[in-house]
Amino acid sequence: MRLFLPAVLFTAAMLAPMASADVFDLSQTNTGGLCAGSCGTVTVTFSGGTNTIHFAIDVAPNSIFGQGGGAFGFNVVGTNAGVAISSVAGPDFSFTGDSGTMDGMGSYEFIITGPANKDNTTLTFDVTRPGNAFTGVSDVYEATSGDHSAAGGGFFAAHIASAGNIVTGFAQTGTTPRPPQGTTPEPSSVILLGTSFAAVAYLLRARFA
């Protein structure tokens, strides 16, 4: 009986939601010489516990900005009704309901606006759709294409300034993420698993003391 509770905790930890993540490269550009290879990455993570999709854009050593066309664009699969964007992190970035085209990279239903200055290398935000909850990262994998897109278009686009602000332009991902690196446990799962291990260790120590 004394091992029953730890066993239950361990099983619950194993069954707890896991956060799945995909990483895309901003490798297609509309301006020659904008970036040497990829302009940066877009990491998309889904939290099953809250049905939230988290975006993390990192373009260092380049920068991301919003002057003249928005800072970052994406689409959702299915209805746009009820889509909410929150926790926008990055100086002067926000979502004000903008949508439209991003200079040869297709049309986007949701565009994050940003500052005119070119000092920011990262941008993060969360997306939810309470009335028709997201079920995974693929719910924001709606491709769009323009004159400068690669074949098949891309899921996301960002307004980029090269390192040193020498060249500015737009960069788009494709539709294929980097090879998967495994699944990341959500914080609640890690805490639960740690608690179960601690309980087992305590009971074993008590038994053999």
So what's the pLDDT on residue 54? 98
Q: Could you tell me the residue range of the domain that residue 7 belongs to?
A: 1-16+186-209
So what's the pLDDT on residue 182? 52
Examine residue 61 and say whether the peptide bond preceding it is cis (omega within 30 degrees of 0). yes
Residues 98 and 198 in one domain: no
Residues 57 and 121 in one domain: yes
CA distance 110 to 114: 13
So what's the pLDDT on residue 7? 44
Residues 203 and 178 in one domain: no
Beta bridge partners of residue 73, listed in sequence order: 111, 157
Contacts of 191 (CB under 8 A, 6+ apart): none
Helix (H) / strand (E) element for 199: namely: helix 187-208
State whether the Cα torsion 158-80-133-93 is positive or negative: positive
Q: How many residues does the chain have?
A: 209
Residues 113 and 203 in one domain: no
Residues 115 and 42 in one domain: yes
Residues 6 and 34 in one domain: no
Residues 67 and 35 in one domain: yes
Average pLDDT along the chain, 209 residues, taken 10 residues at a time: 45 49 96 93 97 98 90 97 96 94 96 95 97 96 95 97 93 94 50 44 50
Residues 30 and 123 in one domain: yes
So what's the pLDDT on residue 26? 98
So what's the pLDDT on residue 100? 95
So what's the pLDDT on residue 68? 75
Residues 160 and 193 in one domain: no
Residues 46 and 125 in one domain: yes
CA distance 176 to 54: 18
Closest CA to 147 of 177, 169, 122, 114: 169
So what's the pLDDT on residue 208? 53
Residues 105 and 195 in one domain: no
Residues 78 and 7 in one domain: no
Helix, strand and coil in the chain, % to nearest 5: 20, 30, 50
So what's the pLDDT on residue 18? 55
The total of structural domains in the chain comes to: 2
pTM comes to 0.79
So what's the pLDDT on residue 48? 94
So what's the pLDDT on residue 67? 86
